[in-house]
Structure formats: structure tokens, C-alpha cells
Amino acid sequence: MYIGIDVGGTFTDIALNRDDGSNIVLHKLPTTPDAPERAIISGLREMLEEHGLAAAAVRRIAHGTTVGTNALIQRRCGKVAVVTSQGFRDLLEIGRQTRPRVYDMHLDFPAPLVDRHLRIEVPQRRLADGTARIALDEEAVRRAGATLAAEAVDCVVVCFLHSYAYPEDENRTAAILRQALPAGVRVLTSASVYPEFREYERFSTAVLNAALITTLTSYLERLTDGVAALGITAEVKISQSSGGLMSVKMARELPVRASLSGPAAGVQGALRRATEAGFLNIITLDVGGTSADVALLRGGRPVEVSERDLAGFPVRIPAMDVNAVGAGGGSIAWIDRSGLLKVGPQSAGAVPGPACYNLGGTEATVTDANVFLGRLNAEALLGGKMPIRSDLSAACIDSLARKLGVTTDAAALGIVNVACARMVKAIRAISVERGHSPRDFVLFVYGGAGPLHATDVARDLGIGRIVVPPNPGILCAEGAMNAPLSVEFVRTILAPLDAGNAGVLREASAVLGRQVEEWFAREEVPAAQRRTAWTVGARYVGQNYELTLPLELSLDDRAMAADMAEKFHAAHETSYGFAARSEPIQIVNLAVKALGMLEIADLPQFEPAEPGLPRELRETLFAGTTRVSTPVFDREALTPGHVIVGPAIIEQMDTTVLVFPGDSCAVDRWGNLVIDVRETVR
């Protein structure tokens, strides 16, 4: 059996595939924010007992987590110190000459994670060519170690200039500090976390990694101990921001790589489901309890980036290009000083949750609005496991409506429409603003709240088709369950792109190739399951940022240089609208992504059967002021070939799907709901 786990802000999702290609077992329960492993262990125990499954038969557990991200946002992380080159103590504070938001003159960057008195300078300066301008003062390093030993720090990061190419001074400093500091203090070098140029981003990434080590290591120990206590012997794998998996050992060393893992796992799940069903150009919409995450896949390939923001700080890690906004089922509706209705980014989360959960929440949320409108079941969710108090939803929305001076129906519709507008804005940022027309894509929706809002979002964007997978609320867990092991190694080059420098690339590829082979051996990946993909970062000479291009090392030197140049011009034209073919190109870096293709179970297919009948009729408000008598179907009653003409509501354990009046919904052989949206705009 294979298990995938996704811990969100509101719910913890667990998916289990029995490896027979016909049965995926699902489980969903509220997250326990103070100790996320509690919900995971409880959910696994309940799932195994309920279905009579043997813990010893579990072959793999894959886990996407937001523990690291939440720890940074709430500043509940380890105490970190920095040892750096003389003159660079304040680099983490100075950063770049950019503002968080261009037109907000008052918004400042968050305070550094390392207090100034814990940022210690030592005499050392190595130039870009490797020359030691100022030799490392080892005695100063020992004095720094003695100072930090009295500060009770959890981790020390060594950050020197040009260590991405010449790490000797960082390594020597780390060795001295390990002798001077107590045994429990971790010492990291910036080159071991992110070995690329751009010192601010390298320093920031190394500090973020250090801040997470204590928190995530403790969490992983509690989780693995709890899993083992259930009788599960399989090692837990951790989902990365790039969508691949890594071992617990690697996660303890590089926890920053797991910081954005939840959304990435969802994209992995969407990629497999969509491509199996023949949808290659998709825009994903993942709406959970706290946020909405969107991504664009063209030709069955997700877009990857190497730099993201994490809790307001730049972080250089390979990551899926996922755009997130604070608009989920638990997002709170409020009125600003101008009297305008706003939704999010504040969320009721799992505790106290929306008002209708009857756990102490009193503010109107998106979930409350959907309950009041008749779109969500007013009695219970999660297949009857979570009772709902619709009267509490009505009361909080009525209170908001009186403040706005509108009807309660209008207030509830307004909450949903404002939340959807935020989702639309997020999708435009990854599509229209990058030269892609949403009309050329299918909207692939998942997350517990995604199918509730898909039609409103699709209509605003001009998207004509929506696809809802069989278990949308559990897709992030399913994506983690089916992801491969992966790792990325990179080496800075900074050389002109021409045939004469092809040898530099080949020498660098030999070094990276040895690192890849060592990783394959360490992770015990069989030879038949090993894959590699090579890329280069390139830019026009004088530009500040690079584009990533696939590299064909099998070509001869001249052909390889010509191939890279042509790919770069084409990529530049796609990204920026022009290509300066007479301008010289610079190779910035060489990178390799190594994949360990794990065994995964087949996706189940479904056979046509007699169409199911509606379970009930429900008065539902889709738009305007008139409620419509809407048939409610159970998802398991729908089989391939079944076509429903809206209005309709389709309920299942992990989500609710809306089919608006005039739209049609068909079931394909993979169990996906394919909704064709009318072109008319309401």
C-alpha cells in the first residue's frame, strides 16, 4: 500500500492506494495546528482500523507539510547566528533596493531572523577569481565561537563572499566552530545549502534553512516515532517545493526545501490525473481552508522557478511556480474603513473555524456563505462526520449584511464573488501577465473548496471547460503519494556562450554527475529507476536575471552552443516579447535534476453503469435573488457516460461540486467530472 499525506491550515488529508489499480481509500480530519503529527497519527490509525488494513503492508508514506512555513511566519523557529566576512554583517538587513510593494511607502521588509548582535564578522575576503585578498583569521573564528557558545544558539551559519565557487574558507570556519560550540549546536555553510552567486539570496536561504532545522527536526522525530508505533515500517518521505520527494535524513539537513511542499504536491497530483485523461494545457486551482493556489501547465509540463519569497524573505530553491492568495473556505469576510467588503487573507483555520463548525468561530467566512446559499450541505460535511450549524452561518452573515446595508442573500453572494475575484487575479498573474490566454486552457480544480468556486472563476476568465478529479479534496495527498524522489545540484559558470566554452560545461557536468551518482547510491535508487535532466541558466550580457533552458550534452561543442543560443532567443521572445539575436549571451549556471522513479500504483478506471438518481432537492442561490430547486447527487452514483445538465450539486466526502444552470457535466472513464461552461457571462 502507498500513502500520501497533506497537512493544510484547516484539514489533514490522507490518501491510500491498495496497489490493485482499483481502490483508493481516503480520510480527512481537522488539522491540529499546535502539533500537526497528532492529526496524522490519528488519521492513519482510524483509516487502518476502519478498513481492516495491515500496517506492515504499507510500502511508502509521502508527506507534504506546511510546518516550516508556519514556523517562519509565526517566528517559532530556532535561534540562529551568522559568521560572515568583515563588512557584511548587515547584508541581511540591507538586501536589495526594492520595496515589498512598489506603491506602499510605509510597508517595510520583515525584521531579519538573526539579531544584529548574533551576526559576527571575522577578517576574511576572497575575490571572484579565488584569490585570498584577506586570509581567514582563524583566531577570530575561535573568539566568535566562544561568544556564540554563551548565547545558547541552535544553529550557526557561515556566509562568505564567493564561497559558491571557493568554499574552502567556509568549510574551515565551520570545522573550527564545531569544536568551539556545544555538541548540540548545528553549523552550516551557505555553499552547502545554496551554492550559487548572488550573496544576499544565498545568505538569506542559508539563514532560513538554519531557522527551520530545529523546528522541523523535532517535528519529523515525533512524526516518525508515531508512525513506527502504529506498526508501519516504511520510511516517511517528505515532499519538496519542487514536487519531488526526499528522505527524512535530507529533510533534516535541508528543511527549507520542504517549505512550499503542499501546493507542489497538488500540482504533481493534477499533472498525473490531467495527462492520463488527455488534458495537457491546464490551469490548476487548489482552494483549501486558508488559501487558493494556482499554477499553469503547458504541454503537460509545470513551470518551475528557482527563487520564491518565504515569510517575506527571498529563498533560492527549486520550486513549482505556484501563485497563492489568501482566499479559502475559512477566509474571513470583513469591512474596511471605506465600507467595502473584503475577504481574507485572515482565516478562521481549523480552530475556531467557520461559524457553522460550532467550534467558537463567530465571523462570517466563505464556507458560511456557501452554507447559507444552499451550495454546501447545511447538516453535515465529510460524509456526515462533521455536523454543520446553518443557523450560525445565517446569523453571522446577517450581522455583516446589516453593516453593509444589503440583504443577507446579497452579502453571502458578495463574499463568494470577492473570494473568486481574488482567485481570478492570481490566475491572471500566471497566465495573462505572462502571455498566455486562459481561454486556451482547461481549469483543473481541486482542494476541498475548489469545485465550489470553479464556475465563477472560469466564467470571469473565459475558460470553457472545468475538470474535477475523482477525489479533489485529497489530491495534494495523492500527488505526494505518487511523486518521485528528486534532488537538484547546481554550479555557477559565468562564461560566454560559444563553442570554445563548451568544455567548461562538460567539466562542470562531470563534477555534478559525481554528486548525482553519490545521491543515487545514498538513496538506494536502482539503476533502472534513475533519470537525469540537465539545464543551463543563460542571459544576455548585462542582464540581471537568467532564463532556464534544457541542455543536450550529447551534441558536439559547436552544435551544443548553437542549440542553446537558439533556445535562449526563443525563450526570451516568449518571456519578454523580443529577442536580441545580435547580442552576446552569457551562461550563468549549469544544473542537473536527478529523479528516482518510485513504484506507483495504477489509477483506477471506471466502467459505465446505470445512472444514479438525485438524493434530494435543495433550494440554492446561484445568482441574482431567486433560489433554484436543485437536484443533489452522490458522487459515487455517477459513472462514465453519465451526463447532467445544470443546475446540480454533486456531493462527496471531500468536496462539493456545483453545476450552474445551463452548464453540463459529463463523467469520463477516469472518474473525472468534465463541466462545459456556457460562454454567456452572468
User: What is the per-residue DSSP string for 476-513?
Assistant: HHHHHHTPPEEEEEEEEEEEE-SGGGHHHHHHHHHHHH
224: cell is 516518525
Provide the sign of the torsion angle of the four alpha carbons 141, 147, 153, 154, taken in this order. Answer: positive
**Cα(14)–Cα(61) distance, rounded to whole angstroms?**
10
Cell of 413: 453572494
Measure the CA–CA gap between 589 and 634, rounded to whole angstroms: 53
Question: Which runs of E-coded beta strand occur in 497-608?
Answer: 530-540, 547-550, 585-596
Long-range contacts of 43-47 (CB under 8 A, 24+ apart): 43/5, 43/12, 43/14, 44/3, 44/14, 44/227, 44/230, 44/232, 45/230, 47/14, 47/16
pLDDT at 107 over 60: yes
Q: Looking at the predicted structure, is the pLDDT value of residue 118 above 90?
A: yes
Enter the pTM of the model: 0.85
Report the half-sphere exposure of 81 (CA within 13 A, side-chain side): 24
Q: Per-residue confidence at 19, pLDDT binned at 50, 70, 90? A: low
Of 64-73, 172-181, 441-450, 580-589, which gets the smallest average pLDDT? Answer: 64-73
What is the H or E stretch that residue 70 is in? helix 67-73
The rounded mean pLDDT for the chain is 89
Residues in the chain: 682
The DSSP 8-state label assigned to residue 523 in this structure reads: T
CB atoms near residue 115 (< 10 Å): 13
Residue 526's pLDDT band, with cuts at 50, 70 and 90, is very high
Buried b vs exposed e over 511-525: b needs ≥16 C-beta within 10 Å?
A: ebbeebeebbeebeb
Percentage of the residues of the chain whose pLDDT score is greater than 70: 98
The pLDDT score that the predictor gives to residue 61 is 92
pLDDT tens for each residue of 431-485: 988 888 999 999 999 988 999 999 999 999 999 999 999 989 888 888 888 889 9
- Residue 347 and residue 345: Cα distance in Å, rounded? 6
Q: Hey, what's the cell of 401?
A: 449584511
pLDDT band, residue 258 (cuts 50/70/90): confident
For helices 408-430 and 450-461, angle between their N-to-C axes, nearest 10 degrees: 70
Q: How far apart are CA 126 and CA 119, in angstroms?
A: 19
Mean pLDDT of 638-645: 91
What are the φ/ψ torsions at residue 126 (nearest 5 degrees)? -115, 135
* pLDDT of res. 20: 61
Q: What is the CATH number of domain 485-596?
A: 3.30.1490
Whether the Cβ atoms of residue 674 and residue 642 lie closer than 8 Å to each other: no
Split at pLDDT 50, 70, 90, the class of 581 is very high
User: What is the structure's pLDDT at 292?
Assistant: 87
Q: Which secondary structure element, helix H or strand E, spans residue 92, and what is its range? A: helix 91-94
Q: What are phi and psi of 176, to 5 degrees?
A: -65, -45
Q: Taking 50 as the threshold, does the pLDDT of residue 184 lie above it?
A: yes
CB of 661 closer than 8 Å to CB of 670: no
* Per-residue model confidence (pLDDT) at position 24: 75
pLDDT tens digits, one per residue of 63-102: 887 777 777 766 778 899 999 999 999 998 888 877 767 7
For residues 371-399, average pLDDT: 89
Q: According to the model, what pLDDT value does residue 682 have?
A: 41
pLDDT band at 23 (very low <50, low <70, confident <90, very high): low
| Cα atoms in the 13 Å half-sphere on the side-chain side of 114 | 34
* Predicted confidence band of residue 322 (pLDDT cuts 50, 70, 90): confident
Instruction: Give 338's contacts (C-beta < 8 A, 6+ positions apart).
Output: none
pLDDT at 681: 43
Fold classification of 76-215 is: Rossmann fold (3.40.50)
Residue 191: band (very low, low, confident or very high) from pLDDT cuts 50, 70, 90: very high
**Model confidence over 389-416: pLDDT tens digits?**
999 999 999 999 999 999 999 999 999 9
Stronger pLDDT, 75 or 333, i.e. the higher one: 333
The identity of residue 631, as a single letter, is P
Rounded-to-integer distance, Cα 191 and Cα 200, Å: 13
Mean pLDDT on 121-127: 94
pLDDT over threshold 60, residue 680: no
Mean pLDDT within 128-134: 91
Using alpha carbons, select from 450, 423, 457, 472 the residue that is nearest to residue 325.
423
Average of per-residue pLDDT across 514-531? 93
Identify the pLDDT of residue 261.
79
pLDDT band at 424 (very low <50, low <70, confident <90, very high): very high
Residue with cell 475523482: 470
Residues 6+ apart with CB under 8 A from 105: 99
The grid cell for 265 is 504536491
Q: Where are the domains of the chain?
A: 76-215, 331-420, 485-596
**Would you state the cell numbers that stand for residue 105, as one nine-digit string?**
511607502
423: cell is 482567485
Q: Is the pLDDT of residue 128 over 50?
A: yes
